[in-house]
Amino acid sequence: MKRNGITEPFSREKVIQGVRRACQGRDVSDDALKRLAQEVEEAIRSQGRSQVNANDIGLAILDPLRQLDEVAYLRFASVYRGFDSADDFLAEIRRMKRLNRDEFESL
């Protein structure tokens, strides 16, 4: 379900299109985008709901995209989360560094 209340079926292609925009100029292959879209679809379907908000799809994209390409992640997150200033970017970069450190320490 979109923010305006319109309902439409989940589309891997729409996920790929949205993420592809964030990946422009980055070294991200079409196969990587397809794998990311599949991962997002699996995460959404595992919730077992018949309808999923567009917001939930955006949330499902964020972590796999961060792991795929941090610059593309920042681009996507800046639109998805509505960054208004450079401070928003800095705060997100700090959060990413913490996540990366925590992931490294858990190995």
Give the model confidence (pLDDT) of 54-94 as tens digits: 889 999 999 999 999 999 999 999 999 999 999 999 999 99
Top-confidence range, 5-9, 44-48, 69-73: 69-73
Residue 7 falls inside a structural domain: no
Residue 25 has pLDDT above 70, yes or no: yes
In a domain, 3, yes or no: no
Q: For residues 28 and 19, give the distance between their C-alpha atoms in angstroms, rounded to a whole number.
A: 10
Inter-residue contact 57 to 10 (CB < 8 Å): yes
Check pLDDT > 80 for residue 105: no
Measured distance CA(23)–CA(5) in Å, rounded: 28
Q: Give the structural domain span for 66.
A: 12-106
On whether residue 1 sits in a domain, the answer given is no
Contacts of residue 20, Cβ cutoff 8 Å, sequence gap at least 6:
33
Domain-located, residue 60: yes
54, 82 Cβ separation under 8 angstroms: no
What's the confidence (pLDDT) of residue 3? 67
Count how many domains the chain has: 1
Beta-strand ranges (E) seen in the chain are none
